[in-house]
Amino acid sequence: MAAGNRTWERPTVFPRRGVKWAVYAGIVGFFVWSGFGVGADPGRIAQGLGSAASLVGDFLPPTATPRQAQRILDKMLESVAMAMVSTLTGIVLSVPIAFMAAENLSPKPLYAINRGFISISRAFNAIIVGIIAVKAIGFGPLAGILTITFKTVGFFSKLLAEDIEDIDMGSVDAVRAVGASPLQTLLYGVVPQIIPRFAGLSVYRWDINIRTSTIIGIVGAGGIGSVLLTAFNRYDYQYVTAILLAIIAVVLVAEGVSAVVRRRYN
């Protein structure tokens, strides 16, 4: 009896070797085609990066006259205020939607409608929502609040609904078994199980909302973004750098606060 020649091959996700190479070839081909489509020839990239080197000088040092500094401060406060208000409105609207979008609590048609709404909210970038909000209700922070609220609802109710789907239905049944009404079941069976996640998610979304509110002004929806776009259009690059530094600082502070709070709750 001949001893079988045993070879070892690394496990792979592809059922057959031919398929694997075909997939790889397809991906490479797609990237090459994309390169042509985007017009990414090395010469042009090198030229752009070359001019970047000289342009960096135009951006440095960051400068802002006292009036400009005051404007940065005002608009930055507006951004933060937009984020605060819309985090609250977004979360308040998310709670019922999350309950209706949880498979274990909600009837099928309601589930489908709410999941659909969540998908729509998540699919569109804040800038797109912002531009439509601005056209609908005019320039200013209210359009920003509307935009961020809409984006918050999609994000927040999706994650909250997933948490609700993961709860222990045993304790819900126990509450129901002692004769609680549907509302009481929700209040004493479901809510206590999701409160810690709820707090963590709120702070996380607040952090994201601060980031969004700093750029949404680019389409006229209030906040520091409008100042940034104007400065860019006026080729006032040193002022642009000052604004960017302010944005980065605020984003980092928000991220730090959010990380600290979430560590306490998780």
Partner 1 sequence: MATEQRSWERFDRRRRISRFALLLIAGVTVIASWRFMDTGIVRPETIPREVGDLLTRMYPPDVAYTTQIVQPLIETIQIAALGTLGALVLAIPVALLAAENTTPNAATFWLGKFIVTTSRSVNTIIWALFFVVLFGSGPLAGAVAIVFRSVGFLGKLLGEEIEEIDFGQVEAVRASGASQAQVLLYGILPQVKPAVVGLSIYRWDINIRDSTVLGFVGAGGIGVELFRAVNAFAWQSVAMVLIVILGVVVVTESLSAYTRGLVR
Q: Which residues bind partner 1 (CB under 8 A)?
A: 13, 30-31, 33-35, 37-40, 44-45, 48-49, 51-52, 55, 77-78, 80-82, 84-85, 88, 119-120, 122-125, 127-128, 131-132, 135-138, 140-142, 145-146, 211, 214-215, 218-219, 222, 228-229, 232, 244, 247-248, 251-252
Sign of dihedral through CA atoms 103, 107, 109, 115?
A: negative
The DSSP code sequence of 30-71 is HHHHHHHHHT--HHHHHHHHHHHHHHHHHH-S----HHHHHH
**Alpha carbons 33 and 27: distance in angstroms, whole number:** 10
Q: CB of residue 1 vs partner 1: minimum separation in angstroms?
A: 35
**Alpha carbons 168 and 73: distance in angstroms, whole number:** 47
> What are the helix and strand counts (H, E) for the chain?
11, 0
**Alpha carbons 88 and 41: distance in angstroms, whole number:** 47
Q: Is 236 helix (H, G, I), strand (E, B) or coil?
A: coil
For the chain, the helix, strand and coil percentages under 3-state DSSP, each to the nearest 5:
80, 0, 20
Q: Which is nearer to partner 1, 194 or 215 (CB)?
A: 215
If residue 12 lies in a helix (H) or strand (E), which one and from where to where?
A: none
**Alpha carbons 28 and 107: distance in angstroms, whole number:** 45
Q: Work out the number of other CB atoms within 10 angstroms of the CB of residue 86.
A: 27
